[in-house]
Amino acid sequence: MTDVRRMKANARERNRMHGLNDALECLRKIVPCYSKTQKLSKIETLRLAKNYIWALSEVLRSGKAPDLMSFVQALCKGLSQPTTNLVAGCLQLNPRTFLPEQTPDLPVHLPPAGAATYPGHYSYQSPGLTAGLPSPPYGTMEPSHIFHQVKGQPYGPLEPFFDGVLVSDGPAFDPPLSPPLSINGNFSSFKHEAAAAADYDKSFSFSVHYGGAGGAGGHPAVYGGGGPNPRCSELQVDGLMGFDGHTHHERMMNAQLNAIFHDS
DNA sequence: TAGGCCATCTGGTCCT
DNA sequence: AGGACCAGATGGCCTA
């Protein structure tokens, strides 16, 4: 191969890998626990994404709001200890509470009671939960990032699962960097849980939210203060990274999910 | 210093 | 023939 052809091939390969990395960066922002300062490695991003998809599939399959412990356990399956700690840190979880066999003697550093906090989201408190914990600042993840807020109820049916597990008091290191994704779904509308659903919205209303910039729950750094991320064009085309909440893609997803749940 | 992660280069293979 | 894709090799950077 001539030098010119080789150089052109190298440039193409570089470009291709940049595209791959851009897509991976988009994936990092979609999976739970996105942090600009503590980036997940490529392999950990893929593992976490796989676990996230699996966990959400299980939620859809079972039609029930899962408990937080099971969900986080599923998220952390196969992840390295530092990544597990990061996920735990994002959720204000003590890894020992959901991975007892893995981390039997982890030191726990919980924030002092009454410390300042960002209203409405849970943040991680330094120092790290374990010796292997990456340095702060950590990413943060609202409970609603995983599950949803039911009408008129701050964190809906999952709120009890956060009791004694999550710590909502404590200084925040970062505004939430993960897209404040929430899956709006009233799992309690199934027949066997009809009673519990009495106070909830009876109609299924699934939607995936990527909140706009601004406010403590916003995403200004990632989304450039309201503009789309040019690196995620393939997602924008489909509307997944939209700012207005209800894109075509999202409506399609809602329709499909609603169909699934109404058929069941 | 070792190990992990990453970007880049390179040659091979497959497809259009 | 040229481009896309892939995997191996290599070297740099960072952290424990």
Q: Is the C-beta of residue A18 closer than 7 Å to nucleic acid chain B?
A: yes
CA pair distance A187, A168, nearest whole angstrom: 25
pLDDT in tens, chain A (264 residues): 767 888 888 888 888 888 888 888 888 888 887 777 778 888 889 989 999 999 899 889 888 877 888 888 888 888 888 888 777 777 667 666 666 444 333 333 333 333 333 222 333 333 333 333 333 333 444 444 444 333 333 333 233 333 333 333 333 334 344 443 333 333 333 333 333 333 333 333 333 333 333 333 333 233 333 334 455 544 443 333 333 333 444 444 444 434 433 443
Burial tier of A113 (Cβ tally within 10 Å: 0-12, 13-18, 19+): exposed
Nucleotide nearest to A18 (CA to C1'): B7
Q: Which of A169, A89, A88, A84 is nearest to A121 (CA)?
A: A169
Q: Which residues 96-155 in chain A have a CB closer than 7 A to strand B?
A: none
Q: Is the C-beta of residue A82 closer than 7 Å to nucleic acid chain C?
A: no
Chain B bases having any atom below 7 Å from a protein CB:
4-12
Residue A30 CA and nucleotide C2 C1' are separated, in Å, by: 36
The torsion angles phi and psi of A192, rounded to 5 degrees, stand at: -70, -10
Q: Is the C-beta of residue A5 closer than 7 Å to nucleic acid chain C?
A: yes
Looking up tokens 């916003």, which residue turns up? A218
pLDDT for the residue A82: 81
Calculate helix-pair angle for A81-90, A42-62, nearest 10 degrees: 60
Q: Is the C-beta of residue A10 closer than 7 Å to nucleic acid chain C?
A: no
Say what the pTM is.
0.55
Could you tell me if A32 and A144 are in contact, meaning their C-beta atoms sit under 8 angstroms apart? Answer: no
pLDDT for the residue A87: 78
Residue A12 CA and nucleotide B7 C1' are separated, in Å, by: 14
> Which residues are A105's β-sheet partners?
none
> Which residues are A208's β-sheet partners?
A183
